[in-house]
């Protein structure tokens, strides 16, 4: 049912936790399935130097959060904004059709965290 990569990221998630005083935080949820994702960003010179997540949900939700953080760490804000749920699914060697919404949540959480980062920068100017 799940690929080896999905199981690996579920059993040993990368970047799990919180960042104290994050530069951006994005929280999204899916009322239908109950999954909630929160992404924390630390940004220096427009580069994501650290990213962490906390996810309440199924194994696929944890795995997609883990993979998504791996895919944007070290990237610029603009590069991270280009991340799609399809790229997350491909990096995990696929997801069952019923779990694709988890990858959409990961993409949305990253975009929400970046939006929060940009809003905080605007407010500081």
Instruction: Specify the 3-state DSSP secondary structure of 53.
Output: strand
Q: Is 33 a catalytic residue?
A: yes
Q: Is 58 a catalytic residue?
A: no
Of the candidates 7, 16, 19, 33, the residue annotated as catalytic is 33
The strand pair at 35-44 and 24-30 is best described as antiparallel
Kind and range of the H or E element at 56? strand 47-56
Of the candidates 62, 71, 88, 102, the residue annotated as catalytic is 102
- CA 29 to chain centroid: 12
So which residues are the catalytic ones?
A: 33, 102
């Amino acid at each position: 049912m799940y690929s080896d990569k999905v199981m690996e990221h579920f059993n040993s998630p990368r970047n799990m936790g919180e960042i104290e005083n994050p530069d951006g935080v994005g929280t999204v949820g899916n009322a239908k399935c109950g999954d909630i994702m929160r992404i924390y960003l630390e940004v220096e010179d427009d580069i994501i130097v650290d990213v962490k997540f906390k996810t309440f949900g199924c194994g696929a939700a944890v795995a997609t959060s883990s993979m998504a953080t791996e895919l944007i760490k070290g990237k610029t804000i603009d590069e991270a904004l280009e991340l799609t749920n399809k790229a997350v699914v491909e990096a995990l060697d696929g997801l069952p059709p019923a779990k694709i919404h988890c990858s959409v949540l990961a993409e949305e959480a990253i975009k929400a965290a970046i939006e929060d980062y940009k809003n905080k920068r605007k407010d500081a100017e």
